[in-house]
Chains A and B, each alone.
Chain A
């Protein structure tokens, strides 16, 4: 559905993006992650044709956004970080205007608008002025306008920024439901959100792709299949070395009084070997927790 090939962008003398390549299949959701200044917004602007790449290309359903922008743009809907809305318009009029921009004929508009209103649960505010809407509703109107014209690809820049927890929960469900008919690319700072919504992830750092692939695969490749968290009173170098030598151990980290042992197996039936190694050193074990790795673990590792 979307293919990014060797994408590079230079601002002045500085490279904002370098050789980014990734792709996404239909009906998948991809999360674009990265610390501030990693190149997320630049990537999205390049995807939607707001910027031209210095090198490389972006293909939307096989159409190059640079050489064939009109066809490529007709296959996508874009929601920037601040939804582009006219304060003085009513929700229905805003959607009608967007239909016009997307060359949707006046006869098809009511069906398109009604469907978008239904999907985003905007019925109660459809004839309210946008200036009177809450941030959550504005975000929904922003998403509704991306759905007009049934584009195959939807691109959202930080869709949940500034929303309260209820609104974030609703928005996540909405985005998840869009997967049935659309392919979605979203950028986000909220790693837990990406974990819940996305099938695929691209992690950017200083303009480079540090990790790309299905979420499960990224977690397993980078962090091991599971993590054993053991809270201890202290550690020493000998303990870290001896733990690394134990079977199934991929990596051992010590952070804020906690040992994090990345394991290559999902189900660990016997944790005694690890405990024995710790106790042998006379170290006190305060708590033990076995968990699946989080995206946060990978994110911190690859962007350090």
Chain B
């Protein structure tokens, strides 16, 4: 059970990290999130200086006023990055005719999906680590609330894992790389917009339902440093649910 999983994760991770196109995508997106970060730092410093002129003021919370905003922006940037990387899961394999290796090996469809999921999660981990270097550099000047910081990053990790699961599903559905990216993006944007239902409905129960379903609500819990088990389970269950559909899609390949 573990040996094939390890083999696939190791190979996929090695492939991504040695791929120039991967680093190009990461390079471009890091440019974007770095700009937002610098902008955030300037805003924070300006606001802090303004406040410091008022004698009885309390200092601004660095997490709330800077890092949390940076993580929100990072989350939106990485939705696109993760959607673009979706082609590497099955679409590339189908193009290279290596997909049959998985289907003819003594592996269950679940093992295949789980291996691809863990490989994707490892890549997300690497990306998030790189993105965390900027806020971590603040440690040279000030202290950071470690728990808050880790929980916020945990929240964005869980969300990105959902978007990646959508990517795995899309890549199992189509042989076209372009279609795969478009499908992943469209589905992920729909997931992001789930909370909009709250604004559209006048019925209170529906408003509360959409509020609970929206990723924003659960993400906000993590960013505020609230460890909410229901939020954790909710986000994990989305990844599981989408992976379940992917497993069915892979099984369906045999029943065509």
Most chain-B Cβ atoms within 10 A of its Cβ — which of A69, A71, A103?
A: A103
- B24 adjacent to chain A (CB < 8 Å): no
A296 close to B (CB within 8 Å): no
Decide: B104 and A78 in contact? CB cutoff 8 A.
Answer: yes
User: For the complex, what is the distance from the CA of A11 to the CA of B255, rounded to whole Å?
Assistant: 10
Binds A, one of B1-9, B52-60, B62-70, B211-219: B1-9
Expressed in whole angstroms, the minimum distance between the Cβ of A90 and any Cβ of chain B is 12
- Among listed B81-89, B93-101, B155-163, B166-174, interface-contacting one: B93-101
Interface check A264, CB cutoff 8 A: no
A73 within 8 A of B: yes
Q: What is the minimal beta-carbon distance from A38 to any residue of chain B, in angstroms?
A: 19
Asked if B106 and A84 sit within 8 Å, CB to CB, the answer is: no
Option from B7, B103, B255, B256 in Cβ contact (under 8 Å) with A100: B7
With the chains together, A74 CA to B4 CA distance in Å?
A: 13
B4 with A84: CB separation less than 8 A: no
Q: Which residues of B contact A97 (CB under 8 A)?
A: 7, 11
- The reply to whether B254 and A102 contact each other, CB–CB distance below 8 Å, is no
Q: Which residues of chain A are within 8 angstroms of B101 by Cβ–Cβ distance? A: 84, 98, 101
B125 at the interface (CB under 8 A from A): no
Q: Which residues from chain B contact A11 at a C-beta distance below 8 Å? A: 256
Nearest residue, chain A, Cβ from B108: A70
Q: How far is the CA of A279 from the CA of B47 in the complex (A)?
A: 116
- The 8 Å CB contact of A86, one of B6, B10, B98, B107, is B98
Interface membership of A122, Cβ < 8 A: no
Q: How many residues of B contact A (CB 8 A)?
A: 27
Instruction: State A71–B10 Cα separation when bound (angstroms).
Output: 25
- Closest A residue to B253 using CB positions: A50
Question: Nearest chain-A residue to B254 (Cβ)?
Answer: A52
User: Are B15 and A101 neighbours in the complex by a CB distance under 8 Å?
Assistant: no
Whether A49 sits at the interface, judged by CB under 8 Å, is: yes
Given A49-B254, A52-B255, is A82 in contact with B97 using a C-beta cutoff of 8 Å?
A: yes
Please state if A49 and B103 are interface contacts (CB–CB under 8 Å).
yes
User: Looking at A11, A70, A100, which has the most chain B CB atoms within 10 Å of its CB?
Assistant: A100
Interface code B181-201, partner A: CB below 8 Å = 1, 0 otherwise? Answer: 000000000000000000000
Q: Chain B: which residue is nearest A83 at the CB level?
A: B97
Tell me whether B4 and A101 are in contact (CB under 8 A): yes
The 8 Å CB contact of B3, one of A49, A52, A71, A104, is A104
Q: Is B96 in contact with A103, judged by CB distance below 8 angstroms? A: no
Which residue of B6, B98, B104 has the most chain A CB atoms within 10 A of its CB atom?
B104
A85 contacts chain B at the CB level, 8 A cutoff: yes
**Residue-by-residue, is B1-43 near A (CB-CB < 8 Å gives 1, otherwise 0)?**
1011011101100010010000000000000000000000000
CB nearest neighbor in A for B7: A100
What residues of chain B lie closer than 8 Å to A73, measured between beta carbons?
104-107
Contact across chains for B256 and A101 when beta carbons are under 8 A apart: no
A100-135 vs B, CB cutoff 8 Å, 1 = contact: the mask equals 111111100000000000000000000000000000
A50 B3 Cβ-Cβ under 8 A: no
Contact-residue bracket for chain A: 20 to 34
Q: How far is the CA of A101 from the CA of B18 in the complex (A)?
A: 21
In the assembled complex, which residues on chain B have CB atoms less than 8 Å from the CB atom of A50?
100, 103-104, 253-254
Produce 1/0 per residue, A136-147, CB < 8 A to B: 000000000000
Bound CA–CA A256/B131 (angstroms): 77
Determine the residue in chain B with the shortest Cβ distance to A50.
Answer: B103
Determine whether the beta carbon of A70 is less than 8 Å from that of B98: no
Asked if B15 and A88 make an inter-chain contact with CB atoms under 8 angstroms apart, the answer reads yes
Any chain A CB within 8 A of the CB of B102? Answer: yes
A73: nearest residue on chain B (CB-CB)? B106
Shortest Cβ distance from A74 into B: residue: B106
In the bound complex, how far is the Cα of B96 from the Cα of A49, in angstroms? 20
- The residues of A that contact B7 with a CB separation of less than 8 Å are 97, 99-101
Residue A48 at the B interface, CB < 8 A?
yes
Docked complex Cα distance between A74 and B108 (Å)? 12
B104 in contact with A102 (CB, 8 Å) = no
Chain A, residues 11-22, CB within 8 Å of chain B (1/0): the string is: 100000000000
Contact bitstring B219-236, A, C-beta under 8 A = 1, else 0:
000000000000000000
The winner among A70, A76, A87, A105 for most chain B CB atoms within 10 A is A70
A49 lies within 8 A of B255 (CB): no
A103–B4 touching, CB < 8 Å: yes
Contact of B105 among A86, A88, A101 (CB under 8 A): A101
Question: Does the CB pair B107–A100 fall under 8 Å?
Answer: no
Does A51 sit within 8 A of B, measured CB to CB?
yes
Q: How far is the CB of A12 from chain B (nearest CB, A)?
A: 10
Query: Is A84 a contact partner of B97 (Cβ separation < 8 A)?
Result: yes
Minimum distance in angstroms from A69 CB to a CB of chain B: 8
Q: Can you report 20 A-B residue pairs in the complex whose CB atoms are below 8 A from each other?
A: A48-B104, A50-B253, A51-B254, A51-B255, A69-B106, A70-B108, A73-B104, A76-B104, A84-B97, A86-B96, A86-B98, A97-B7, A98-B105, A100-B3, A100-B8, A100-B10, A102-B4, A102-B105, A103-B1, A106-B3
Q: Which 8 A-B pairs have the closest CB atoms?
A: A100-B7, A74-B106, A101-B105, A73-B106, A84-B98, A78-B104, A103-B3, A84-B101
State the B residues within 8 Å of A (CB).
1, 3-4, 6-8, 10-11, 15, 18, 96-108, 253-256
